Amino acid sequence: METPFVDWLLERIPADARLEVPPGDDACVLRPPALRRTVVTVDMLTEGVDFILGPDCSSRQVGHKALGVNLSDLAAMGARPEAALVAVCLPRHNGSAIAHGLWEGIETLAAAEGITLAGGDTNAWDGGLVMSITAIGSVPPGKAWRRDGALPGDLLVATGSFGGSLLGRHLAVEPRCRAALEIAERFAVHAAIDVSDGLSLDLARMMRASGTCGVVRLASVPIHPDAVRMSRQPGDTRSPLEHALGDGEDFELLLALAPADAIQLVATGEELTGIQLSIIGEVRAGQGLVAEAPDGTQRPLPPQGFLHDFEA
Amino acid sequence: METPFVDWLLERIPADARLEVPPGDDACVLRPPALRRTVVTVDMLTEGVDFILGPDCSSRQVGHKALGVNLSDLAAMGARPEAALVAVCLPRHNGSAIAHGLWEGIETLAAAEGITLAGGDTNAWDGGLVMSITAIGSVPPGKAWRRDGALPGDLLVATGSFGGSLLGRHLAVEPRCRAALEIAERFAVHAAIDVSDGLSLDLARMMRASGTCGVVRLASVPIHPDAVRMSRQPGDTRSPLEHALGDGEDFELLLALAPADAIQLVATGEELTGIQLSIIGEVRAGQGLVAEAPDGTQRPLPPQGFLHDFEA
């Protein structure tokens, strides 16, 4: 649709050499980078499920998060972010203020990550706020990080630390795009996934796709201070480690690499990427997840995390 | 998210040479057709605004429409449809049945138009159904049909006929992809737009983008039988022509071509495309829209159509 808000938006999107036809037409036309593949992902965020607008969550933060989670998916493919399209359904009440806040959050992150805003769709209704962002990236042919390539013997490397994201990091997503590109340039990553729904749940997905078993060394899981804070809240019965394994929305990367590569990555990668890197376990033949205690004993690890359910 | 429904979906999406990494990973990886540009569009449909689920509108029809409106945007760019990603937010109640219906509608149209389903995102909440589809197409460099290229002297050609789409055609969208490709191969189209919000409103958009004035020959506007039926309904005060000019959701194409090309297109195009083609007016210097009566008198034509509004 075209409205004063869309006109206002279009004036703010700078020209970009990647766009042969800029936003404002029936569709945008992208010049795909020569000899690269196009990587596309879409994620939808809904009010009440992914965020609750209010004093603790502005529409600017929602805009940031909506783009951030999509860029995190591109990072998990080892892809260079190029462009994004933003579809939004605004509540009729206060829609204009919400729309401007969303734009600020999106535009700031887009500029920081060097992507062009290539199009979108703006709607209004009497329901809650819904955002759907489509992020477009590029990778050299055959170089995308898939989740199904982990091999028995690989070590599992994680960026950052985990748990307690609900205390604020679930909104202030920092997609690991730059770190992913630095790593992709130097290391052969066999498989990758980003942790959106839970460290153990997303690792289980990688293992299922790869037809392998993941061994998590519990003492090596990097625990975020927020996980400690959350476990100390009144009524919280979970340990910091349990928060780290199951909270989700950390938007860190899990990578599977051959042992020598993983060791080299952890030894050199922190300086390269500016982000903490840890070996959290290994891949072996089999299926599912195993937790390894510091004394070497192993037990099955049920995947924990967030599932979007709907009734039959 | 992964659920039994997503597993069920992934089993149903056939392998496609355009996908280097198929759906099921953090993102899909597309092999862009060599020497072509990538065209991307997104449209969001919401329950209560774009459709009302019930006896007159099944979720299968909603799935068809959600993909159809996006393919119509690709047609309006003169682009070949290649792929689509589907983000959906399902009501928690009855979500599974709705999801399966959506899939049937999407899959059937995708197969008919020869596109691959490249990914998506499935969510659930307590609100109404929201669908956001991202459609990806391709065009040769510099060949996309923009809306800003109409020139004074051009004639305006429309596919199909207009008005009364609410009687059913607004759901049974027939995107003009094949016709667009046939025309693009043979004719130099200066500007194009699809009629989603209203013939006069969308034409006004093309004229505004082009910096030109559109003259609509009222006697030449092809009126759909549904427009006649609607104008005869009790309480309806609008003429069939008014319905044709302002109802919208016709998903026909408006094209601006040099006069000789337009005349040739209308003379030969119907056999080529299987779709009615009509010259409905011309482009001249100036701005806005002008209605020309059969006797040659002209008056300003206020654009009519559907605007998605939200309150400040």
Instruction: Based on the fold, state whether residues B162 and B135 are members of the same structural domain.
Output: no
* Burial class of residue A145 in the structure, from the number of CB atoms within 10 Å of its CB (0-12 exposed, 13-18 middle, 19+ buried): buried
Number of Cβ within a 10 Å radius of residue B6: 17
Instruction: Based on the fold, state whether residues A228 and A269 are members of the same structural domain.
Output: yes
E-strand stretches of A33-79: 37-46
- Identify whether B23 is part of a domain: yes
- Identify whether A144 is part of a domain: no
Last residue of a domain, one of A114, A139, A164: A139
Instruction: Based on the fold, state whether residues A178 and A121 are members of the same structural domain.
Output: no
Q: Report CB contact under 8 Å: B125, A40.
A: no
Q: Which residues of A touch B47 (CB under 8 A)?
A: 127
Q: Report CB contact under 8 Å: B122, A46.
A: no
pTM to 2 decimal places:
0.94
CATH number at residue B132: 3.30.1330.10
Report the pLDDT value the prediction gives residue A1, as an integer from 0 to 100: 46
Sheet containing strand B116-125, strands side by side: A19-21, A28-30, B37-46, B130-139, B80-91, B116-125
Q: Which residues of B touch A87 (CB under 8 A)?
A: 42-44, 132
Q: How far apart, in whole angstroms, are the C-alpha atoms of residue B212 and residue B151? A: 7
Report how many domains make up chain B: 2
Q: Report CB contact under 8 Å: B77, A26.
A: yes
Instruction: Based on the fold, state whether residues A62 and A127 are members of the same structural domain.
Output: yes
Q: Report CB contact under 8 Å: B310, A91.
A: yes
Spell out the residues 6+ positions from residue B223 whose beta carbon is closer than 8 angstroms to its own.
B161, B162, B163, B240, B241, B243, B244
Identify from A20, A29, A96, A208 which residue to disrupt to test chain B contact, counting B C-beta atoms within 10 A and taking the largest count: A29
Quick one: what percent of chain A has pLDDT higher than 90?
Answer: 87
Q: Which of B26, B90, B121 sits opposite A193 (nearest CB)?
A: B26
- Identify whether A148 is part of a domain: no
Per-residue model confidence as pLDDT tens digits over B227-283 = 999 999 999 999 999 999 999 999 999 999 999 999 999 999 999 999 999 999 999
Q: Between A and B, how many residue pairs show a Cβ–Cβ distance under 8 A? A: 262
Q: How far is A261 from chain B (nearest CA, A)?
A: 23
Q: Report CB contact under 8 Å: A37, B43.
A: no
Q: How far apart, in whole angstroms, are the C-alpha atoms of residue B259 and residue A84? A: 38
Report the pLDDT value the prediction gives residue A7, as an integer from 0 to 100: 83
Q: Report CB contact under 8 Å: A123, B49.
A: yes
Last residue of a domain, one of B90, B110, B139: B139
CATH number at residue B295: 3.90.650.10
**Structure tokens belonging to residue B88:** 């959906």
**Structure tokens belonging to residue B45:** 């449909």
Q: How far apart, in whole angstroms, are the C-alpha atoms of residue A289 and residue A203? A: 8
- Identify whether B145 is part of a domain: no
Q: How far apart, in whole angstroms, are the C-alpha atoms of residue A169 and residue A163? A: 10
- Identify whether A43 is part of a domain: yes
Instruction: Based on the fold, state whether residues A51 and A92 are members of the same structural domain.
Output: yes
Instruction: Based on the fold, state whether residues A166 and A270 are members of the same structural domain.
Output: yes
Domain, as residue range, for B116: 4-139
Report the pLDDT value the prediction gives residue B12, as an integer from 0 to 100: 86
Instruction: Based on the fold, state whether residues A172 and A296 are members of the same structural domain.
Output: yes
Q: Which of B26, B48, B137 sits opposite A41 (nearest CB)?
A: B26
- Identify whether B148 is part of a domain: no
Instruction: Based on the fold, state whether residues B261 and B215 are members of the same structural domain.
Output: yes
Number of Cβ within a 10 Å radius of residue A202: 25
Q: How far is B118 from chain A (nearest CA, A)?
A: 8
Per-residue model confidence as pLDDT tens digits over A249-288 = 999 999 999 999 999 999 999 999 999 999 999 999 999 9
Q: Which residues of B touch A192 (CB under 8 A)?
A: 26
- Identify whether A173 is part of a domain: yes
pLDDT in tens, chain B (312 residues): 457 778 888 888 888 999 999 998 999 999 988 889 999 999 999 999 899 999 999 999 999 999 999 999 999 999 999 999 999 999 998 888 999 999 999 999 999 999 999 999 999 999 999 999 999 999 999 999 999 999 999 999 999 999 999 999 999 999 999 999 999 999 999 999 999 999 999 999 999 999 999 999 999 999 999 999 999 999 999 999 999 999 999 999 999 999 999 999 999 999 999 999 999 999 999 999 999 999 999 999 999 987 765 544
Q: Report CB contact under 8 Å: A42, B1.
A: no
Q: Which of A1, A135, A147 sits opposite B307 (nearest CB)?
A: A1
Q: Report CB contact under 8 Å: A29, B310.
A: no
